[in-house]
Chains A and B, each alone.
Chain A
């Protein structure tokens, strides 16, 4: 098996998946249902990516839950993406030291 061909296949397939909609879909979606559907997609993707994975990413469910709670608090109080990320990592490191 040739490494160059492996990479060519994976890169080619991945790019085709990403680019096809851009070349085929030019117009505006008019249907209210479809527009609503695509309005919710990014948030649904976020929900599916974050849960339950966040609880298993540090190796301890309790430590992860503390990091998750810290991120929610930071975001609720108006912290941006970087703030939430830093607060969460700090909480995980601290919790890991204590536990």
Chain B
């Protein structure tokens, strides 16, 4: 069940991690290190920024701060996820924490009634393999995939997001408000404040949209999730 839900994420991760592998090698990072980075970090925007810092021989402090800023959104997602994993043991929680990515968090929060540890393992393991395999391929054989195919594959992640949003909106129209506000803020910031990293855009847009949603369309405690 978890592995099944993880499969589309893994497919979506392939072109993204492939692109990371190409970028890492272009920045002078040995393939083995780019693979180790993917296997220990499992984060797209953070790794891309880190590859730039390594390529420019940046300081350790710069690396720590950039990683913190770009990946801060995971804290928001982990806080949200703790509400669904209260019956996990501490060890299970610490394993789950490693796999908190935008996509895995969203599936765990929206596509299953109850979250179990075996489900989380499958939901994390399959995308993890996809992320690693994509990095291996990108690092060693970056030039072999035709560009039009790589670019077309990139839309699969977004198509997946849409396939999560649409049925949720059909079930609860209030969700459309949160999605639309977040999309509007994200689009406005993309054009007006391009110097703000995408990690921060997600945090600002998600916090503002969810706060407005909670204020104008609060849900009674009895509502099922």
The residues of A with any CB-CB pair to B shorter than 8 Å are: 1, 3, 5-7, 9-11, 13-15, 17-23, 25-30, 32-54, 57-59, 64, 67-68, 70-72, 74-76, 78-89, 92-93, 96
Contacts A45-B102, A84-B159 given; indicate if A50 touches B183 (C-beta within 8 A): yes
Q: Does B1 have its Cβ within 8 Å of any Cβ on chain A?
A: no
Shortest beta-carbon distance from A33 to chain B in Å: 5
Asked if B206 and A41 sit within 8 Å, CB to CB, the answer is: yes
Asked if A34 and B190 sit within 8 Å, CB to CB, the answer is: no
Asked if B218 and A33 sit within 8 Å, CB to CB, the answer is: yes
Nearest chain A residue, comparing its CB with the CB of B57: A1
Nearest first, the 4 A-B pairs at minimum CB distance are A88-B159, A84-B163, A47-B182, A75-B166
Asked if B179 and A46 sit within 8 Å, CB to CB, the answer is: yes
Asked if A47 and B71 sit within 8 Å, CB to CB, the answer is: no
Asked if A3 and B33 sit within 8 Å, CB to CB, the answer is: yes
Asked if B75 and A20 sit within 8 Å, CB to CB, the answer is: yes
Asked if A40 and B209 sit within 8 Å, CB to CB, the answer is: yes
Shortest beta-carbon distance from B64 to chain A in Å: 5
Contacts A40-B178, A45-B206, A81-B160 given; indicate if A21 touches B75 (C-beta within 8 A): yes
How would residues 183 to 196 of chain B score, 1 for a CB under 8 Å from any chain A CB and 0 otherwise?
10111001000000
Asked if A48 and B221 sit within 8 Å, CB to CB, the answer is: no
Asked if B158 and A17 sit within 8 Å, CB to CB, the answer is: no
Q: Does B26 have its Cβ within 8 Å of any Cβ on chain A?
A: no
Shortest beta-carbon distance from A42 to chain B in Å: 4
Interface of B is mostly: helix
Interface residues of B in 162-184 (CB under 8 A from A): 162-168, 170, 175, 178-183
Residues in A with CB closer than 8 Å to B114 are: none
In-complex Cβ contact of A74 among B40, B163, B165 (8 A): B163
Asked if B41 and A14 sit within 8 Å, CB to CB, the answer is: yes
Q: Does B78 have its Cβ within 8 Å of any Cβ on chain A?
A: yes
Asked if B163 and A81 sit within 8 Å, CB to CB, the answer is: yes
> How far is A58 from B149 in the complex, measured between Cα atoms in Å?
10
Asked if A89 and B155 sit within 8 Å, CB to CB, the answer is: yes
- Select the residue from B12, B79, B225 with max chain A CB neighbours within 10 A: B79
Asked if A39 and B151 sit within 8 Å, CB to CB, the answer is: no
Asked if B210 and A37 sit within 8 Å, CB to CB, the answer is: yes
Residues in B with CB closer than 8 Å to A96 are: 148, 152
> How far is A55 from B191 in the complex, measured between Cα atoms in Å?
13
Shortest beta-carbon distance from A27 to chain B in Å: 8
